[in-house]
Structure 1
């Protein structure tokens, strides 16, 4: 069984090396591999040495980034053809909806971002994705699917693992995204990440392009890479402007009251007149084009440049963390030594503590007695304060009642004065009426006397005035 597995691996390795020879136009690499390995088994270090010395040394140093990118794509396809049967079989068991094209894109993204990790003891090498790069890819998935915060906590637990192999990486995409979102949305996100990392696309978006014959701005889709700017008149007929050493970008002068913010991409044979409706969007495109022009002669792709930049930053972070960890260990060691010294000193002081224990117990007993007396005094003060507060409250209530009684007494005095005034007025009126009655009676007597005198002289009819006077007298009575 081991022999059959060995021959199978040898055959796969020969197919891979032969494919690499076909890609770089170097024949006979498979036979050279047999001569290089001899009859003994070939370790990974020996294979890596063979590829670096015998295979890739045939490549010319004058190859540009475009040619290197094409070779890299063909090498990835060759590796994919060899390994896809196993990878697709595992994928179909998890989620049969994932198509081969998108798995291949994920494979290329993984190969670009992953690192070759070799075990020094067993000489077994694996291509593994570090947790920082996995975090970056999954965060882009969540952000593009508008689920950055809803599922972030769920993905944080995945980053506890230090490294991801391709099966783990692919299973996360299939089980976490393909089952929770529409596959068209996930495929679109995979394509966006593929364009950003693998296709060397620096920026992609719509711009307004001025026509060469008609001075009219028309909106078109533009794709900026490190060495070209492509725009689409229609989806099937893209037009590409290759950058050269004379290419530059300039910011245009915007006319007053104009809604267009213009800029120019100037090459050796033409001027591309572009514009945006937002000034900030124009600044983003100017920055992106200047970045592309600055990387015009770099053989390294922009995606690989960003990956190496992140590697350097993460390496610095790890070094800083390592320094902090070493510093913490030194502090712990110093604390341990100080603790040991303190323990020795504590042992020396133990005898003195034993001698002082009896005195301490005596002082504790005195302290408890004093605390008890203090507690009793405090309680007495509290009771005294309580009694004082009750007395003050009763006194306040008495003062309130006294004020109320004084108020009522004042009101009664005022009422009594009013009654006295009324009585005095009534007596005065009664005296006045009695005086008037006496006057009326006196007049009546005078009238009767006069009438008697008159009656004695001459009999006359009763005087009506006398009768009215009587009625007045009766009324007054």
Structure 2
């Protein structure tokens, strides 16, 4: 990858003007932004606009370092002090209070920031927490962008001046080089501005800036212009020079810490080695003393063992006599034990017979109990079936009662209708010319004594069945 970049930029001349160098840098950043912006614009809890994110991306690229992961892979990481510098400037531009201990706690956990982490930290902790308007955020980011990318105020090539503080009417720009110098002017106590003279090769310019702190403000302007003039001849701007200086300081500090750790580790290793040698010598001396004590103890132990052997010989002779007597006693006891053992075996056989008889009785009792339980369950099943059948017959009887009542109601209604119809026929009989037709109509009506025979028969049979049960 580095070889590819070397081939791409090999056609550029060795000396390039600062505006051209800035133009190339801007185009490279734009290409990089086009490649990776999709990873940063689509995120949760968006605070900065897309243009602000692009400006923060360019600031990040300016201040970040290339950290190698392998021979061909690098990571772009921003050191924690640089993040603190950008965050502090953003907080100051928004008129908020910078919390240095809080950022120190954060930087102790995160030593180097990727751009996504850098953007998330600025949006979540140092953007006003929703209390700052979008215009204020954009203005603060624009100020940082102008400061870091375009070296505003400490710009090494030119000084732009305006008629008023709103910076709407541009008066012109003054080209700066190493031949320029700046002088202070006497200001009256009534003046509300600080006056100073900027001398160039062509002419001198008397400029005025708002006075807020009198002498301190004048010294800041003079110092800023002198710094801008001193950096006007180089190919790097003031901010880039500061970034390079801080980067070199970080590298030097890292080298110092590494060397200090190496030296301390070497001292610790030497101390450990010396301590180990002393410990070995001490252990050797202790081992020699211990060995001498062991030899003396062995000598005493041998003398003691000889005496014990003499005593043991006498004891063995005595024990031999006792053992002979014990064998005779043991023979007597063994005979007694054999007789007792035979008696125990006989008792054991009797006990096993009794146990076998008890086991047979228990098996028979268990079989009887199982048979009884089976019969009991069978009876319970028959009883449940009978109860179910009884419940079903009861439901059928209730259903038939309802049907019989309904039939009776229909018969009653029919009888009433018949009576009404007969009354109407009696009233209309003198006027009817066809009596036979009336008689035929009446023949279709059921008599008062009729009722469904099948329903009555079924009802009576169910009542008898229920009564029997």
Task: Pick the TM interval, shorter chain.
Answer: 0.5 to 0.7
- Please give the TM-score of this superposition, normalised by the length of structure 1: 0.53
Q: CA deviation at 1:257?
A: 8.6
CA shift at 1:59, angstroms?
A: 2.3
Within the alignment, does 1:267 sit opposite 2:200 as a pair?
yes
Corresponding residue SS for 2:126: helix
Paired position in structure 1 for 2:51: 101
CA distance 1:262–1:141, change in 2 (3 Å): closer
Displacement after TM superposition at 1:81 (Å) = 2.0
Q: Which runs of 4+ in 1 moved over 6 A?
A: 255-260, 351-355
Q: Name the structure 1 match of 2:393.
A: none
* Residue correspondence of structure 1 range 320-399 to structure 2 within 5 A: 320-348=256-284, 350=286
How many Å separate the matches in 2 of 1:50 and 1:352?
A: 71
Q: Quick one: distance in 2 between partners of 1:353 and 1:131?
A: 60
After TM superposition, give the deviation of residue 338 of structure 1 in Å.
Answer: 2.5
1:112 Cα shift? 0.4
Is this contact kept in 2: 1:177–1:186, CA < 8 A?
A: no
Equivalent residue of 1:264, what SS?
A: strand
Tell me whether 1:197 sits opposite 2:148 in the alignment: yes
TM superposition shift of 1:88: 0.8
User: 2:176 — aligned with what?
Assistant: 243
Matched, 1:299 2:235: yes
1:63 paired residue among 16, 30, 46: 16
Mapped pair 1:75 → 2:28: yes
Unpaired stretches in structure 2, ≥5 consecutive residues:
292-469
2:138 is the counterpart of 1:187: yes
TM-score by length of 2: 0.54
Residue 286 of structure 1: aligned partner? 222
Bigger shift: 279-288 or 185-194? Answer: 185-194
> Which stretch of the first structure deviates more once superposed, 58-67 or 278-287?
58-67
Deviation at 1:347, TM superposition (A): 2.5
Residue 404 of structure 1 is matched in structure 2 by none
Question: Please, what is the CA RMSD of the aligned residues?
Answer: 3.0
Question: Quick one: structure 1 residues 167 and 349, their matched pair in 2 at CA, closer, same or farther if it must change by over 3 Å?
Answer: same
Cα gap change, 1:165 to 1:255, in 2 (>3 Å): closer
- Matches of 2:36 and 2:104, distance apart in 1: 28
Residues 177, 233 of structure 2: 8 Å contact kept: no
> How far did residue 351 of structure 1 move?
6.9
Query: Which residue of 46, 64, 67 maps to 1:114?
Result: 64
- Pair 67,228 (structure 1): closer, same or farther in 2 beyond 3 Å: same
Q: How many Å separate the matches in 1 of 2:146 and 2:56? A: 11
SS at match of 2:233: coil
Measure how far apart 1:117 and its partner are: 2.4
1:111 CA drift (Å): 0.5
**How far apart are residue 50 of structure 1 and its match?**
2.4
- Name the structure 1 match of 2:248: 312
1:263 match: secondary structure: strand
2:5 to 48, 51, 59: 51
SS in 2 for 1:296: coil
How many Å apart are 1:135 and its aligned residue? 3.0
Q: Within 2, Cα distance between the matches of 1:322 and 1:298?
A: 33
Q: Which runs of 5+ in 1 are unaligned?
A: 1-43, 204-223, 356-477
CA distance in 2, matches of 1:51, 1:344: 59
CA deviations on 1:21-78 (whole Å, 9 max, x unpaired) are: xxxxxxxxxxxxxxxxxxxxxxx3xxx312222x222223342112211221122122
Q: Secondary structure at the match of 2:76?
A: strand
Q: 1:107, 1:166 within 8 Å by CA — same for their partners in 2?
A: yes
